[in-house]
């Protein structure tokens, strides 16, 4: 038994080292969107592009990712283990920032022509969320800023939302309320930092800060 546990630990350690070498670190403060965008300015550009392309506010998109993966690029549902060492199946094919399923991701690539998209790439993941929510809005008339109802449809599918399959799922209603609260919080934070994010966008895009010569240390936004 101890040998099996040791072998499993070694296996997990090796896999962790491989994944860390190829992954983007989780933002230091995932509860403040200004801090997230300060740390990864290209994420601001990506989520702003989603707003321009699909009409989904940045705060809603970021709240979805906060809920789905906590900004961990290779996140996926935990698998079962047999005899403490043999990996079993995962409960679903959800993967990446947006926790998109294999079939849904394939539909996204086919519809957008973005065949090189990766679920662990932030730009692709937020574009997927924008695309998915835009499809939902066409079918359900949910408002783009309504993170609560959009998340219910994200989980149940637009058809499930229309049929009301979420109504007896108290746990899902609770999660959707959390997403709405997070989106509202992010929106309030963006009001206070958007001008700063837009200022010196050229240097920010290239180097991650406003001015190449001064480059002051980042100050947390509350």
CATH code: domain of residue 154: 1.10.530.10
pLDDT tens digit sequence for 161-186: 999 999 999 999 999 999 999 999 99
Looking at the structure of the chain, the number of domains it has is 1
pLDDT tens digit sequence for 150-159: 999 999 999 9
CB-CB neighbours of 199 under 10 Å:
11
pLDDT of residue 22: 63
Q: What is the 3-state secondary structure (H, E, C) of 32-80?
A: CHHHHHHHCHHHHHHHHHHHHHHCCCHHHHHHHHHHHHCCCCCCCCCCC
pLDDT tens digit sequence for 86-104: 665 666 899 999 999 999 9
pLDDT tens digit sequence for 11-38: 444 544 444 446 899 999 999 999 999 9
> Is the Cβ–Cβ distance between 54 and 133 less than 8 Å?
yes
Instruction: Report if residue 8 sits inside a domain.
Output: no
pLDDT of residue 208: 63
> Which domain covers residue 141, as residue numbers?
27-73+88-207
pLDDT of residue 172: 98
> Is the Cβ–Cβ distance between 210 and 204 less than 8 Å?
yes
pTM here? 0.82
Instruction: Report if residue 134 sits inside a domain.
Output: yes
Q: Is 18 helix (H, G, I), strand (E, B) or coil?
A: helix
Core vs surface per residue 88-101: b (16+ CB within 10 A) or e: eeeeebbbbbbbbe
Instruction: Report if residue 15 sits inside a domain.
Output: no
Instruction: Report if residue 180 sits inside a domain.
Output: yes
Instruction: Report if residue 158 sits inside a domain.
Output: yes
Nearby residues of 40 by Cβ (< 8 Å), 6 or more positions away: 24, 27, 122
């Amino acid at each position: 038994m101890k040998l099996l546990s040791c072998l499993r630990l070694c296996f997990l350690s090796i896999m962790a080292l491989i994944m860390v070498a190829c992954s983007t670190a989780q933002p230091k403060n995932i509860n403040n969107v200004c801090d997230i965008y300060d740390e990864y300015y290209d994420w601001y550009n990506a989520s702003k592009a989603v707003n321009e392309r699909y009409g989904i506010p940045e705060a809603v998109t970021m709240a979805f990712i906060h809920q789905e993966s906590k900004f961990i690029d290779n996140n996926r549902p935990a698998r079962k283990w047999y005899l403490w060492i043999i990996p079993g199946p995962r409960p679903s094919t959800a993967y990446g920032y947006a926790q998109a399923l294999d079939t849904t991701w394939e539909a996204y690539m086919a519809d957008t022509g973005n065949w090189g998209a990766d679920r662990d790439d932030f730009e692709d993941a937020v574009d997927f969320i924008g695309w998915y929510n835009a499809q939902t809005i066409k079918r359900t008339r949910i408002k783009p800023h309504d993170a609560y109802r959009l998340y219910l449809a994200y989980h149940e599918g637009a058809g499930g939302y229309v049929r009301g399959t979420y109504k007896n799922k108290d746990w899902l209603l609770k999660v959707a309320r959390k997403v709405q609260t997070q989106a509202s919080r992010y929106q309030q934070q963006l009001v206070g930092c958007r001008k700063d994010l837009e200022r010196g966008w050229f240097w920010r895009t290239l180097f991650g800060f406003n001015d190449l010569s001064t480059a002051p240390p980042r100050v947390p936004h509350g």
